[in-house]
A and B are shown apart, each in its own frame.
Chain A
Amino acid sequence: MSNISAPNSSLVLVQKAVKQLRLEASVRRIKVSQAAAELKTFCLQNAHKDPLLTGVPSSDNPFRPPKSCILL
């Protein structure tokens, strides 16, 4: 079905798509090797601070199994 507004709307859509692609193409990129190396460094630097990774002794763990009370 052709009407006057149809060429304009598909035109607008395609123009928007091209504009977006031009923007994305101009993004500055670095090599994966460099990015991966930085991700690895971040991981290793913070590993000792990560309780789920290193495990936490029961006495420090706020979620340790609740101790049962002993009635004297």
Chain B
Amino acid sequence: MCDQTFVAATFGPCECCEKASPLMNIYIKAEAINYCSFCVEVMACAGLTAGESVASLKKESETLKKKLEEERGKLSDIELNQVAEKVEVLGALAIKTRRVLKGHGNKVLCMDWCKDKRRIVSSSQDGKVIVWDAFTLNKEHGLNLPCTWVMACAYAPSGCAVACGGLDNKCSVFPLSLDKNENLNAKKKSVAMHTNYVSGCTFTSSDMQLLTSSGDGTCALWDVESGQLLQSFHGHTADVLSLDLAPSETGNTFVSGGSDRKSNIWDMRSGQNVQSFESHESDINCVKYYPSGDAFASASDDATCRFFDLRADREVAVYQKDSVIFGASTLDFSLSGRLLFAGYNDYTINVWDVLKGTRASILFGHENRVSRVRVSPDGTALCSASWDNTLRIWS
């Protein structure tokens, strides 16, 4: 719209090849360029290696896509649940609500456990962020953010800070102070700046780096101290809704999932998208790595959760049931990876047997959508956050 070409007829020496011929007076970004029509063609094709054209590249991309499908299909010799046939069926799970954390005045959108296995940070729609002690139900800190819909919150590995972000397009880090009288808002540090809402955030292995995902379609790695952008990850064609860091033993990668129905694996150092998976039929709301780091699962609005293996480079299991018709908005694995807890928009949490592909249990209790489930760092409990303004601890 803004670059318009005005073609006027003049005759004279071409600025490129010096031959006298009818010139096309073209304005590129307000600069007048007087080339003959041949040189204009050459300029337009600049950037193409010999023999290429847009059409031939498009054809190559089609053949590559088909080749990828074929390669992935060749390795699909058996299903995960067939391999797991000999595994013992799970016994009845005795998981019940043990604590209900009341205190938020509005929908709880996100929560995270602290590495000390007892503290929890949660954020809600009205901009409040609360740090709880899950054993005693004490509220240890309360923060008020100036924005609403705080969709992402994370606890720092040291337990000394929390990061949160949402509709303000930023992710801020708040150091937690033991002094009750200190105003935590005063020490706030704005770290991430995106051009759309922040949907997810997590600290990397230290308090010094923060990884964020955003509605602007990108993920970014930030240095907390300086607020500098260290690496950005482009590749999604729609909002990125979730991200998860690979468990520490396996290195510098993370997975992200978005509204473009794709989940991508990224290398944090190069910013390169190393693998991509597209089999969901609707937005991917949450992605989580398997505890071994060789696989990940994703929860989607298409009411299924899917399990992808990174080394086989394909989907290996789908967790769905005809009776489950509401979208899944969150999921997490138990410590061994045998159980997959998924929170749905029908207010329940379904517990799936990862190996056999069957549903092991349903957890009822919430009175509105479950927005986030997280297993505690030592695997003893599951915490779920919901739009009914409460959090529940199950054990």
Q: List chain A positions with a Cβ less than 8 A from chain B.
A: 1-5, 7-8, 10-12, 14-15, 17-18, 20-25, 27, 29-40, 42-47, 49-53, 55-56, 61-65
Minimum Cβ distance to chain A for residue B97 (Å)? 10
* B380 lies within 8 A of A61 (CB): yes
Q: Is B184 an interface residue (CB 8 A)?
A: no
Chain B window 159-178, contacts with chain A (Cβ cutoff 8 Å), 1 for yes, 0 for no:
00000000000000000000
- Knowing A18-B64, A20-B235, say if A43 contacts B355 (CB, 8 Å): yes
Complex CA gap A4/B135 in Å reads 65
Q: Which chain A residues border B335 with CB–CB below 8 Å?
A: 46, 49-53
- Knowing A43-B354, A49-B335, A63-B134, say if A4 contacts B44 (CB, 8 Å): yes
* A53 lies within 8 A of B339 (CB): yes
Contact of B379 among A31, A42, A49, A65 (CB under 8 A): A49
* B334 lies within 8 A of A39 (CB): no
Minimum Cβ distance to chain A for residue B354 (Å)? 7
- Knowing A18-B57, A43-B355, say if A52 contacts B93 (CB, 8 Å): yes
- Knowing A4-B26, A43-B354, A65-B98, say if A35 contacts B336 (CB, 8 Å): no
Complex CA gap A7/B375 in Å reads 50
Q: Which chain B residues border A33 with CB–CB below 8 Å?
A: 77-78, 83
Q: Is B87 an interface residue (CB 8 A)?
A: yes
The B interface is mostly helix, strand or loop, or mixed, namely loop
Residue in chain A with minimal CB distance to B393 = A63
Known: A5-B28, A18-B60, A42-B291. 11 other contacts (CB 8 A): A3-B3, A4-B40, A24-B68, A24-B274, A32-B77, A32-B80, A35-B309, A36-B83, A38-B292, A42-B337, A56-B395
Q: What are 7 A-B interface contacts by the 8 Å CB criterion?
A: A8-B44, A20-B235, A25-B71, A36-B83, A43-B337, A62-B117, A63-B134
* B338 lies within 8 A of A23 (CB): no
- Knowing A32-B309, A61-B380, say if A43 contacts B338 (CB, 8 Å): yes
Those of B60-104 within 8 Å (CB) of chain A: 60-61, 64-65, 67-68, 71-72, 75-80, 83-84, 87, 90, 93-95, 98-99
Complex CA gap A4/B268 in Å reads 36
Q: Which chain B residues border A56 with CB–CB below 8 Å?
A: 380, 395
Segment of B143-151, B253-261, B311-319 engaged in the interface with chain A: B311-319
* B28 lies within 8 A of A25 (CB): no
* A47 lies within 8 A of B336 (CB): yes
Minimum Cβ distance to chain A for residue B256 (Å)? 15
Contact of A36 among B68, B80, B95, B134 (CB under 8 A): B80
* B312 lies within 8 A of A17 (CB): no
User: Across chains A and B, which 4 residue pairs bring their CB atoms closest together, nearest first?
Assistant: A46-B336, A50-B336, A21-B64, A63-B98
Minimum Cβ distance to chain B for residue A72 (Å)? 24
Q: Which chain B residues border A24 with CB–CB below 8 Å?
A: 68, 274-276
Q: Which chain B residues border A55 with CB–CB below 8 Å?
A: 93-94
Q: Which chain A residues border B57 with CB–CB below 8 Å?
A: 11, 14-15, 18
Q: Is B294 an interface residue (CB 8 A)?
A: yes
Minimum Cβ distance to chain B for residue A48 (Å)? 8
Complex CA gap A5/B44 in Å reads 8
User: Which of B80, B316, B382: most chain A Cβ within 10 A?
Assistant: B80
